[in-house]
Amino acid sequence: MRQITLIGLAWCLGWIMPAPAQGLEKGRETVYVSPQGNDKTGDGTEASPFYSLNRAVEGRLSSGSSSDTLFLRVASGAYYMQEPFIIRSPLARPLVIQSQGEEKPRLLGGIRIDGWEACGDGMYRAYVPEVARYGLDIEQFYVNDRRAILARTPNAEWFFVKGTSEHPFVKGVRSADYAVQQVDFHPADWETLLHVPSRELKHLKFRFYHKWDITTRSPRYVEKDSCRIYMEGQGMKPWNPIQQGSRYYMYDYKAALDSPGEWFLDREKALIYYMPREGERMEEAVCIAPVLEHWVIVQGEEGKPVTDVTFENLSFQYSAYHLPPEGEEPAQASANAKASMQFDFADRIRLENCEMLHTGAYAVWFGQECNDNRVSHCYLYDLGAGGIKVGEPYFRTSGSPVTRGNLIDNNIITYTGRELPCGVGIALFHTADNQVTHNEISDLLYSGISIGWVWGYNQSETLWTNAMDDKGEMIPFQKKLESPAVGNKVMYNHIHHIGWGELSDMGAVYTLGESPGTCVSHNVIHDVYSYDYGGWGLYTDEGSTGVEMSYNLVYRCKSGGFHQHYGKENRIFNNILAFAYTNQLQCTRKEEHQSFVFRHNIVLIEDEVLFRGQWENADIDADRNLYWSLSGKQDFFGKDFKAWKKAKEPHSVWADPLFKDPKRDDFTFQSHAGIRKIGFKPFDYSHVGVYGEEEWIRKARLPQEREDEFTRLINRLTAK
Question: pLDDT confidence of 66, banded at 50, 70, 90?
Answer: low
Cα angle for residues 73, 145, 254 (degrees, 5° grid): 135
Q: Which of 197-201, 461-465, 477-481, 525-529: highest mean pLDDT? A: 525-529
- Residue 120 is given by DSSP the state S
- Assign 608 to helix, strand or coil: coil
- Encode pLDDT of 117-141 as tens digits: 999 999 999 999 999 999 999 999 9
**Would you list the DSSP string of 332-343?**
GGGTT--EEEEE
As a whole number of angstroms, the distance between CA 378 and CA 447 comes to: 20
Q: What is the mean pLDDT of residues 20-28?
A: 46
- Encode pLDDT of 251-262 as tens digits: 999 999 999 999
Question: pLDDT confidence of 340, banded at 50, 70, 90?
Answer: very high
- Encode pLDDT of 89-122 as tens digits: 899 999 999 999 999 999 999 999 999 999 999 9
pLDDT at 669: 98
Position 15 pLDDT exceeds 60: no
Question: pLDDT confidence of 27, banded at 50, 70, 90?
Answer: low
CATH architecture for the domain at 28-104: 2-Layer Sandwich (3.30)
Position 635 pLDDT exceeds 70: yes
Q: What is the mean pLDDT of residues 143-172?
A: 97
> Which H helix or E strand runs over 164?
strand 163-170
CATH architecture for the domain at 9-16+290-321+330-713: 3 Solenoid (2.160)
Question: pLDDT confidence of 245, banded at 50, 70, 90?
Answer: very high
Question: pLDDT confidence of 62, banded at 50, 70, 90?
Answer: confident
pLDDT at 667: 98
Cβ-contact 566, 588 below 8 angstroms: yes
Question: pLDDT confidence of 6, banded at 50, 70, 90?
Answer: very low
Position 438 pLDDT exceeds 70: yes
**Average pLDDT value over all residues in the chain:** 94
As a whole number of angstroms, the distance between CA 318 and CA 419 comes to: 13
For the chain, the C-alpha Rg in angstroms (whole number) is 26
- Encode pLDDT of 361-416 as tens digits: 999 999 999 999 999 999 999 999 999 999 999 998 778 899 999 999 999 999 99
Cis amide bond preceding 154, omega within 30: yes
pLDDT at 427: 98
Q: What is the mean pLDDT of residues 523-545?
A: 98
Position 22 pLDDT exceeds 70: no
Question: pLDDT confidence of 8, banded at 50, 70, 90?
Answer: very low
Question: pLDDT confidence of 471, banded at 50, 70, 90?
Answer: confident
Q: What is the mean pLDDT of residues 341-368?
A: 98
pLDDT at 14: 42
* pTM of structure: 0.95
End-to-end CA distance of the chain: 45
**The one-letter amino acid at 212:** W
CATH topology of domain 159-255: Elongation Factor Tu (Ef-tu); domain 3 (2.40.30)
- Encode pLDDT of 270-311 as tens digits: 999 999 999 999 999 999 999 999 999 999 999 999 999 999
pLDDT at 510: 98
As a whole number of angstroms, the distance between CA 657 and CA 667 comes to: 9
- Encode pLDDT of 260-279 as tens digits: 999 999 999 999 999 999 99
> Domain coordinates of the chain in residue numbers?
9-16+290-321+330-713, 28-104, 110-151+257-289, 159-255
Position 25 pLDDT exceeds 50: no
As a whole number of angstroms, the distance between CA 693 and CA 633 comes to: 45
Q: What percent of the chain has pLDDT over 70?
A: 96
pLDDT at 1: 37
Q: What is the mean pLDDT of residues 428-450?
A: 98
Closest to 31 in 3D by CA, of 6, 64, 66: 64
pLDDT at 620: 98
Which conformational region is residue 438 in: left (phi greater than 0), alpha (psi within -120 to 50 degrees), or beta?
left
Closest to 447 in 3D by CA, of 394, 500, 508: 508
Position 24 pLDDT exceeds 70: no
